[in-house]
A and B are shown apart, each in its own frame.
Chain A
Amino acid sequence: MTAPLVGVAVVAAAAAAVALGVAAARGGIRIRNPKPGAERILVPFTGGTLEPTVLDAAIRLAQAEGATLVPAYLLLVPLRYSEDSPLAEQVAVAVPWLEAVELAAHRAGVAVDARIEKGRTPTHALRRLWSVERFDRIVAPAPANSHGGLTPKDLTWILAHSPAETIVLKPSPSPPPPSRR
């Protein structure tokens, strides 16, 4: 009587193992839930631009350290408007960028906690963000091929005032134009 029962149990266990295997295979990459107090890596950017090489590096860093990536789009409020003015056009630029950054990070299994912060200048927006949130590391993109990002002056300010370890990443230079025959 016992032999058939053992046989059934073995089959059931094997079926469960196969089922688990399928679930794991379909699950793809799992995004780690950051533990409370986990390291937070801030990547500030502005002007509708974030170099892919800088983003990749920041994601790799967060991945290696099990940290949460905090991409922060810095929204600039022109002086002629009050600081509370709605800036729908700029937000419309920021939102797809943050979605794209979030997607890239999630695909790498990195937890993301995105922000949009506004100020009169990028440094003003950063100062505001730093005053209310904790960051353990800051990855700042150096100005390079694109226009409208952080300026050398902004970077100097960041290096002088940053509340955490700061890495300035220079994007890879533009590839040379293809040679013509």
Chain B
Amino acid sequence: MAAGVGKTYRMLQEGRQAQAEGRDVVIGYLEPHDRPETAALAEGLEVVPRLRTRHGDLELEEMDVDGVIRRAPELALIDELAHTNAPGARNEKRWQDIDEVLDAGIDVISTVNVQHLESLNDAIFELTEIRVRETFPDRILDEADEVILVDLTPEALQERLRAGKVYSPERAEVALDNFFRADKLSALRELALREVAEDVEERRTARTLEPLSQQAVAERVLALVEPQPKSQRILRRAWRSAQRLGTEMDALWVRRPGRPPTPEEETQLAALRRLAGILGAHFLEVEGEDLVDTVRHVAVERGSTYIFVGTPDESRRREILGGSLLSRMVRELPGLDIRVVANRADRDKLAI
């Protein structure tokens, strides 16, 4: 909500709770604001040393992003999400540092005041006549797994200020006459409550719809590959669709029994496995006499909904005599979308 309500304290409480539950927790950056209660709560939590930089005569300290990533904890506590980093730092803003930490697979608990939310910047200016310079994009809040409001009545916050629990007495006096006036604090509190209420509502709606929508729209991509160069394209196209759908992807090679791959095919398979690894796909090798039958089993097992297959190399004669592979797939894989990955260069043949 605002400085002094106890965000850092709450973050540390959450961190200690996680540690007690056996999670590996570190402090990535803590702004103790010379508050003894906060410092006491931080005791016993490992702190990643800060990065010291020199800017003119000033020695500045920032969070060591690489240090946190190297330490690779399960959870990092990183205070002041909207903070602007010292000049020369890799990222301009701390929320960008936090993005990097999250990308490295580390969970983060951070703190922020409502006035730093980008979309509220104008509203905050109208309410407080103060233009907040340090802002962060709304998507950070949208992407957070959980948003906790640390609420305090304006009167209680003013009381904390007067008691010197937030700023030094001189600074507190100035603050009480400006940003921390009761009317402004009430407006900020209202904004914070409304923002969190909207967030809770969005999450509730999403959860209510989840079981139904899961069944209706959940996707899982299955790309059928062979030890041939064209399968690289099938995998890449399947990956692009999986990305757009925000879903997982499997790559399947159906191995014929008693027919070991040739050295040439081994090379192709190794390349496909490497590509699948790079794309984050699961490479499956399943032995099966009948391709369509094997695909059906795998699709059921993996929950696949969307199958990518290359243009079959069947002869017209075989198609006429034995039925085409694609029509068999459509017939024998009901409920699954099937996409035939063509060679884009063949579009030239469409020319009249």
Interface residues of A (CB under 8 A from B): 26-29, 31, 36-37, 68, 75, 80-81, 84-88, 91-92, 95, 98-99, 102-103, 106-107, 111-118, 132-134
Q: How far is the CA of A1 from the CA of B270 in the complex (A)?
A: 65
Q: Which residues of A contact B270 (CB under 8 A)?
A: 132
Pick the 3 closest A-B CB pairs, nearest first.
A106-B345, A113-B229, A86-B280
Interface residues of B (CB under 8 A from A): 66, 69-70, 100, 104, 229, 232-233, 236, 239-240, 243, 262, 264, 267-268, 270-271, 274-275, 277-280, 343-346, 348-349, 351
Q: Which of B100, B229, B277, B279 is in CB contact (< 8 Å) with A68?
A: B229
Q: List 8 A-B contacts (CB under 8 A).
A: A26-B349, A29-B345, A37-B264, A84-B277, A91-B279, A95-B239, A103-B344, A133-B271
B239 touching A116 by the CB < 8 A rule? no
Q: What residue in chain A is nearest B313 (Cβ atoms)? A: A33
Q: Measured between C-beta atoms, what is the minimum distance from B93 to chain A in Å?
A: 18
Q: How far is the CA of A134 from the CA of B280 in the complex (A)?
A: 25
B348 touching A107 by the CB < 8 A rule? yes
Q: Measured between C-beta atoms, what is the minimum distance from B343 to chain A in Å?
A: 6
Q: Which residues of A contact B344 (CB under 8 A)?
A: 99, 102-103, 106
Q: Which of B236, B268, B346 is in CB contact (< 8 Å) with A98?
A: B236
Known: A37-B264, A114-B236, A132-B270. 20 other contacts (CB 8 A): A26-B349, A28-B346, A28-B349, A31-B343, A68-B229, A80-B69, A80-B100, A80-B104, A84-B277, A85-B104, A86-B280, A87-B278, A95-B239, A103-B344, A107-B345, A111-B229, A113-B268, A114-B229, A116-B278, A133-B267
Q: Which residues of A contact B66 (CB under 8 A)?
A: 80
B264 touching A132 by the CB < 8 A rule? no
Q: Which residues of B contact A118 (CB under 8 A)?
A: 278
A113 touching B232 by the CB < 8 A rule? yes
Q: Which residues of A contact B69 (CB under 8 A)?
A: 80-81
Q: Which residues of B contact A26 (CB under 8 A)?
A: 349
Most chain A C-beta atoms within 10 Å of own C-beta, residue among B66, B264, B278, B349: B278
Q: Measured between C-beta atoms, what is the minimum distance from A3 to chain B in Å?
A: 34
B277 touching A81 by the CB < 8 A rule? no
B345 touching A114 by the CB < 8 A rule? no
Q: How far is the CA of A36 from the CA of B229 in the complex (A)?
A: 12
A99 touching B278 by the CB < 8 A rule? no
Q: Which residues of A contact B348 (CB under 8 A)?
A: 28-29, 107
A91 touching B278 by the CB < 8 A rule? yes
A116 touching B275 by the CB < 8 A rule? yes
Given contacts A115-B271, A132-B267, A132-B270, whether A95 and B236 have CB atoms under 8 Å apart is yes
Q: Which residues of A contact B346 (CB under 8 A)?
A: 28
Q: Which residues of A contact B104 (CB under 8 A)?
A: 80-81, 85
Q: Measured between C-beta atoms, what is the minimum distance from B350 to chain A in Å?
A: 9
Most chain B C-beta atoms within 10 Å of own C-beta, residue among A27, A28, A68, A132: A28
Q: What residue in chain B is nearest A117 (Cβ atoms)? A: B274
Q: How far is the CA of A98 from the CA of B344 in the complex (A)?
A: 12
Q: Measured between C-beta atoms, what is the minimum distance from B240 to chain A in Å?
A: 6
Q: What residue in chain B is nearest A134 (Cβ atoms)? A: B267
Q: How far is the CA of A26 from the CA of B275 in the complex (A)?
A: 34
Q: Which residues of A contact B268 (CB under 8 A)?
A: 113
Q: Which residues of B contact A91 (CB under 8 A)?
A: 239, 278-279
Q: What residue in chain B is nearest A132 (Cβ atoms)? A: B270
Q: How far is the CA of A91 from the CA of B276 in the complex (A)?
A: 12
Q: Measured between C-beta atoms, what is the minimum distance from A15 to chain B in Å?
A: 18
A102 touching B279 by the CB < 8 A rule? no
Q: Which residues of B contact A75 (CB under 8 A)?
A: 278
Q: What residue in chain B is nearest A96 (Cβ atoms)? A: B240
Q: Measured between C-beta atoms, what is the minimum distance from B51 to chain A in Å?
A: 14
Q: What residue in chain A is nearest B344 (Cβ atoms)? A: A103
B280 touching A95 by the CB < 8 A rule? no
Q: Measured between C-beta atoms, what is the minimum distance from A41 to chain B in Å?
A: 13
Given contacts A26-B349, A88-B280, whether A106 and B236 have CB atoms under 8 Å apart is no
